[in-house]
Amino acid sequence: MVKLVPPFTLDTAIAKVRMAEDGWNSRDPQRVSLVYTPDTRWRNRTDFPAGRAEIVAFLTRKWARELDYRLIKELWTFADNRIAVRFAYEWHDDSGTWFRSYGNENWEFDAEGLMQRRFASINDMPIASADRKFHWPLGRRPDDHPGLSDLGL
């Protein structure tokens, strides 16, 4: 795994965002937790997990509820050891109702490139199955699949 560390350039910030997207699309809480510092602190909607163990528990609950989860992240801006992204993801609940969740994240990294702070603001919008835009097999988004801007999101 390539280690991307601050200070970020445009190319390394874009790569860091894609690596984060790929990790979250794995839906593997343990794998995802390893890119955060052991004492990481988050704000995710109304949850405030701290540390890797709480992150694993949070993500385990999240992906048990948000089924067939597919995520696209896009760089918004960056400076030094911080990156801001916007994202959208599609998922359905256990009743089969589909949602598109939109949001923004602010990230802060330590000198080793591990994320020490993650602040996320997220809104959910019910969508019809026919309105879905993320149609790749579960897992990593294919390189030729459009990003958020390309999809008009």
Closest Cα to residue 113, out of 10, 42, 19? 19
| Cis peptide preceding 7, ω within 30 of 0 | yes
**What is the model's pLDDT at position 55?**
98
Low-confidence ranges of the chain (pLDDT < 70): 1-2
**What is the model's pLDDT at position 3?**
72
**What is the model's pLDDT at position 83?**
98
Query: Between β-strands 36-44 and 98-109, what pairing exists: parallel, antiparallel or unpaired?
Result: unpaired
**What is the model's pLDDT at position 86?**
98
3-class DSSP state of 81: coil
**What is the model's pLDDT at position 103?**
97
User: Which residue ranges make up each domain of the chain?
Assistant: 10-131
Could you tell me if 107 and 87 are in contact, meaning their C-beta atoms sit under 8 angstroms apart? no
Contact partners, residue 34, CB within 8 Å, separation at least 6: 52
Write phi, then psi, for 88 (nearest 5 degrees).
Answer: -145, 145
Whether the model pTM is above 0.75? yes
- Identify the burial level of 109 via C-beta atoms within 10 angstroms of its C-beta, where 0-12 means exposed, 13-18 middle and 19 or more buried: buried
Query: Between β-strands 82-92 and 36-44, what pairing exists: parallel, antiparallel or unpaired?
Result: unpaired
List residues bridging with 22 in a β-sheet. Answer: none
Could you tell me if 82 and 108 are in contact, meaning their C-beta atoms sit under 8 angstroms apart? yes
**What is the model's pLDDT at position 2?**
64
Q: CATH topology for 10-131?
A: Nuclear Transport Factor 2; Chain: A, (3.10.450)
**What is the model's pLDDT at position 1?**
56
